[in-house]
Copies of this chain bind each other. A is one copy, B any other.
């Protein structure tokens, strides 16, 4: 066991090796943007999939929807650039809300963020596998298996503790950016020469009667909400300001600008190409891969493009492996999550958080059969909810401080907050029946759970506090009453009795028999070896050991008021693991139940077998 762990995870690392590296802008862009940029691999498709409910005739509407999302992106970017300057120490929505709003609000943000981290893994990995199977359809039957394998790979790498800032992680991001820009360039050139042969405004006219209905508008809103999945992860840079080289705020703000510009360009470009080429979503071929095939044909470039897309999506999933355990440890440190989530493992990473994230993501992947489209509706609610709460906290803090921050800053962040708040509401309404309800139910449930956990720890602390008053009323020290369950006379019994004599003079052996005629023989042998120790024999007609044992302990408790009761249990330690199966595990079951039900000490004596 331990050696397998070492092989996979590596040797333990000292606490002192925890350190932070400062990143140049070009590297920071790669490190913090893979989540945001990778979403262009699926965002356009999600818009088209929703529009399909009204027929392909309305596909032209993907363009105005994409423009609306670009406007949203600009508003959010401006707001977060102000935040970068105002809060150079970083800190996500949870910390900001905790410090400047109320506990409940911060827990809502925390719950939303945790759900989104899990969804980022599930969505990015599913989408990455879709990129792979679009190029190699023969892999389709193993879609879910490949996704699970990728999650397990990320889990193992992160349990080893990968340095997120390693230069090697910068390559896929830039490869992806270049690939998409080349795609857009070449595709644009083709479109120019071939002419716009996809969906156009003329169809708009025939489709517009759909939209006059409330249902049509509702579908448009839903398409917008789905497209907003392109925005996930844009706040990452603002949380990472301390990792930038000085002047860190300025560098982070510049990087944020570049990131948004790239994201906007790529997203718009892909949406235009999809409309221009007349791409329709297919079940087993992603929209972006159809564009890729249209532009690159079946050449090696198409396959390379798909591999790069998959790589960036896996990298995007990996960002959650840094974010989720970090957030969970902060919440656990505030005692709203189990303490075990706040402890660093022997490789200096938050091992339990990493494992928890992997397990949850794998459950989502299995339940939703690795379908990106089924997971997307759960996505945007949490993202925009935490955007809104985070910005609200910032505004409130700036307002309180009044330390000369310009009104522009406050106005910009307030605008961001209002807009993201509106998007949250739109998302909740437009995607409620598609799965968003699951998130909307989960968030309050998680908040309740957080409070219950905190209440348990608080009460525990009270119960365990040792005050001097109480401590001074020290109880009288009485020898324990020792009970030794036996089934015959053997070396194990001899060892138990030897130990019992070392801790007490009040010793009773107890034997539970299933046939009444066993008593005589046992007593005879006992008298020969241990005439000075009392032997109690109990006949159990139902061949159970636990209940006669409990009855006997109850009886003893009544007799010996106050004296501690100790039960000595021998345990065979076998040389080969499978020998365990050859021994009765009654002792283990018995120990479990006795300690659960009674206030007695159970002393386990190992008996190491020679073979």
A residues apposed to B, CB below 8 Å: 12-16, 338-340, 343-346, 453, 456-457, 459-460, 463-466, 468, 471, 474-475, 477-480, 489-494, 498-499, 501-504, 514-515, 528-529, 541-544, 564, 566, 571, 573, 579, 581-585, 591, 595-596, 598-606, 608-611
Q: Is the CB of B344 within 8 A of A543?
A: yes
With the chains together, A611 CA to B602 CA distance in Å?
A: 23
Q: Is the CB of A491 within 8 A of B464?
A: yes
Q: Is the CB of A465 within 8 A of B477?
A: no
Q: Quick one: copies of this chain in the complex?
A: 2
Residue numbers in B under 8 Å from A13 (CB-CB): 542
Instruction: Indicate whether A494 sits within 8 Å of B466 (C-beta atoms), given known contacts A544-B12, A573-B596, A579-B456.
Output: yes
Q: Is the CB of B346 within 8 A of A542?
A: yes
Q: Is the CB of B604 within 8 A of A604?
A: yes
Instruction: Indicate whether A489 sits within 8 Å of B502 (C-beta atoms), given known contacts A12-B544, A541-B15, A604-B604.
Output: no
Q: Is the CB of B573 within 8 A of A15?
A: no
Residue numbers in B under 8 Å from A471 (CB-CB): 494, 529
Known A-B contacts: A346-B543, A471-B494. Give 12 more (CB < 8 A).
A12-B542, A13-B542, A15-B541, A339-B582, A346-B544, A456-B582, A468-B528, A479-B503, A499-B564, A573-B595, A595-B606, A598-B606
The 4 closest A-B pairs by CB, nearest first: A12-B542, A503-B503, A464-B490, A603-B603
Q: Is the CB of A582 within 8 A of B463?
A: no
Q: Is the CB of A606 within 8 A of B610?
A: no
Nearest to A539 among chain B residues (CB) is: B15
Q: Is the CB of A582 within 8 A of B543?
A: no
Closest Cβ–Cβ distance, residue A488 to chain B (whole Å)? 9
Q: Is the CB of B338 within 8 A of A581?
A: yes
Closest Cβ–Cβ distance, residue A280 to chain B (whole Å)? 32
Q: Is the CB of B571 within 8 A of A595?
A: yes
With the chains together, A343 CA to B515 CA distance in Å?
A: 13
15 A–B contacts, CB within 8 A, in A order: A15-B542, A338-B582, A339-B584, A343-B543, A456-B582, A459-B610, A463-B610, A466-B489, A468-B529, A471-B529, A503-B566, A595-B604, A601-B605, A601-B606, A603-B603
Nearest to A480 among chain B residues (CB) is: B502
Q: Is the CB of B480 within 8 A of A503?
A: yes
Partner of A603, one of B339, B457, B501, B601: B601
Residue numbers in B under 8 Å from A582 (CB-CB): 338-339, 453, 456-457
Residue numbers in B under 8 Å from A499 (CB-CB): 480, 564, 601
Q: Is the CB of A566 within 8 A of B603?
A: yes
Closest Cβ–Cβ distance, residue A81 to chain B (whole Å)? 38
Q: Is the CB of A345 within 8 A of B16?
A: no
With the chains together, A40 CA to B255 CA distance in Å?
A: 79
Q: Is the CB of B503 within 8 A of A491?
A: no
Nearest to A461 among chain B residues (CB) is: B490
Nearest to A585 among chain B residues (CB) is: B340
Residue numbers in B under 8 Å from A457 (CB-CB): 582
Nearest to A515 among chain B residues (CB) is: B15
Q: Is the CB of B15 within 8 A of A543?
A: yes
Closest Cβ–Cβ distance, residue A584 to chain B (whole Å)? 6
Instruction: Indicate whether A466 sits within 8 Å of B491 (C-beta atoms), given known contacts A12-B542, A460-B609.
Output: yes
Nearest to A344 among chain B residues (CB) is: B543
With the chains together, A497 CA to B256 CA distance in Å?
A: 59
With the chains together, A13 CA to B605 CA distance in Å?
A: 33
Residue numbers in B under 8 Å from A339 (CB-CB): 582-584
Instruction: Indicate whether A599 sits within 8 Å of B595 (C-beta atoms), given known contacts A16-B541, A466-B529, A502-B564.
Output: no
Instruction: Indicate whether A604 sits within 8 Å of B606 (C-beta atoms), given known contacts A346-B544, A490-B465, A581-B338.
Output: no
